[in-house]
Structure 1
Amino acid sequence: MDDKTPILELKDVVAAYGNIEALKGISLKVMPGEIVSIIGANGAGKSTTLMTICNVVQAVSGDIFYRGERINGLNSDHMPPRGLCQVPEGRRIFPRLTVTENLEMGAFFRKDQRKIKEDMEYVYELFPKLRERRKQLGGTLSGGEQQMLAIGRALMSRPKLLLLDEPSMGLAPLIVKQIFDIVQDINKEGVTVLLVEQNANLALQASQRAYVLETGKVVMEDDAASLLDNPDIRKAYLGE
């Protein structure tokens, strides 16, 4: 796949919960190496978009392409081995497993033991707190540490595209900054990121491009710097 082909592309994707249409023809694309954000109010369809990409929520119509392959209907378990991994809203780590065991679960489909050890060392370098807590049960960690663990677990799958759903939710500002700095570091290492984030200011500062969702539709797309300067965006999403 060349750098001019989107790593991810959605074309007129419709998704529903029962009779309620949550996505009403979403189209977006993410190019290799980008950080792209999806911003919008609660209920706009941001998290549903990520879940539909992973086929946790089934698309009713439209096309989802990952690295040029149409992935509609593929079992969500088949996504990480293809290099597409989601860090879901609310972390969802394994509370009764240790930090190390949680990280090992991220590499459950891999057989390359030497590289798995190298990747675990890389995660511990990114998140020194996890190294300190490696024998602790996941459920005993703070919210920030659980978010680090959720991202670390995703990295253990060696993702080419990382879907991040509300990484700042419920975290102290200092921890949020640390998480976002690390997301940008991960991106510099070659991982493409699609970010859903309630904190629009943070998301736009971290991204190259962004899409604005309202009630299941893309109402605006632009480079992130332009959206940060847009008075309508500043009023609607940045509290100005």
Structure 2
Amino acid sequence: MSEKPILELKNVSSHYGRIQALKSISLKVFPGEIVSIIGANGAGKSTTLMTICNVINASEGDIFYKGERINDVASDILPTMGLCQVPEGRRIFPRLSVLENLDMGAFFRRDSARIKQDIERVFDLFPKLRERRKQLGGTLSGGEQQMLAMGRALMSSPKVLLLDEPSMGLAPLLVQQIFDIVKMINEQGVTVVLVEQNANLALQCSQRGYVLETGSVVMEDNADKLLTNPDIRKAYLGE
């Protein structure tokens, strides 16, 4: 593991109006890792990702990506720097085809030969998308739309991929498939930050994890230790 984090939050707070959503949280993500953020509904997991991407502005603290402070970088510029989010709810373009959605993920790129290679890479990861390449995004199943959202993010050629609730609303068989693909994406050199309600599966595919409660980090550890922690098992793993 590199000694320098590729992504770091230092004492970051953020607000929805007057309501404080994040309370001075600090976390580090090192190159090549999968790091999970787990916690109950309303704990601040999705808010953490949106704050990293400056969809919600941090009211306090510093966010660093590759050693550079990015608090003031516009959210639509961050993907050009290699930091890309797959938001909760997928948010694909329903009236564009699968292929057009993937092209939108590469809209700021000019390396057309590499773009074609990356489209094939996405189709190798998600064979269903190859079959549906001309189909409108809005006509895909929920699982296929999740695959398309992840594929579109990969078309930006990210160094760090922020995944927000990728298993939400999916059948159990598809959930396992999505997590297998997350591991494959990581093995191809992409660092992953995973926000996920299914804490068990998230920790099983991660190296480390952070536990959020009401906007604060209350625990951080190696994922295998969190999986065997009796408090975590009782609170988040249904035991």
TM-score (norm 2): 0.99
Residue 17 of structure 1: aligned partner: 16
Amino acid at match of 1:91: R
> d(CA) in 2 for partners of 1:150 and 1:230?
33
CA deviations over 1:27-75 (Å, ceiling 9, x no partner)? 0000000000000000000000000000000000100000000000210
Residue 115 of structure 1: aligned partner: 114
Note the 1:30-179 alignment, pairs <5 A: 30-179=29-178
- Given the alignment of the two structures, is residue 201 of structure 1 paired with residue 203 of structure 2, yes or no? no
| Cα RMSD for the two superposed structures | 0.7
Cα deviation, residue 159, structure 1: 0.3
Q: How many residues align?
A: 239
> d(CA) in 1 for partners of 2:145 and 2:2?
33
Cα deviation, residue 4, structure 1: 1.6
Task: Give secondary structure in 2 for the equivalent of 1:96.
Answer: coil
- Given the alignment of the two structures, is residue 219 of structure 1 paired with residue 218 of structure 2, yes or no? yes
> d(CA) in 2 for partners of 1:209 and 1:192?
12
> d(CA) in 2 for partners of 1:160 and 1:154?
11
Cα deviation, residue 3, structure 1: 2.4
TM-score (norm 1): 0.99
Cα deviation, residue 155, structure 1: 0.4
CA deviations over 1:166-192 (Å, ceiling 9, x no partner)? 000000011011110010011011100
Amino acid at match of 1:70: R
Amino acid at match of 2:166: P
Amino acid at match of 1:41: A
Residue 180 of structure 1: aligned partner: 179
Amino acid at match of 2:119: M
Residue 232 of structure 1: aligned partner: 231
> d(CA) in 2 for partners of 1:238 and 1:14?
27
Cα deviation, residue 205, structure 1: 0.3
Stretches of 4+ aligned residues off by more than 6 angstroms: none
Amino acid at match of 1:101: E
> d(CA) in 2 for partners of 1:170 and 1:129?
18
What's the % identity of the aligned pairs?
78
> d(CA) in 2 for partners of 1:234 and 1:73?
38
Task: Give secondary structure in 2 for the equivalent of 1:86.
Answer: strand
Cα deviation, residue 200, structure 1: 0.4
CA deviations over 1:116-140 (Å, ceiling 9, x no partner)? 0000001001101000000000000
> d(CA) in 1 for partners of 2:111 and 2:3?
31
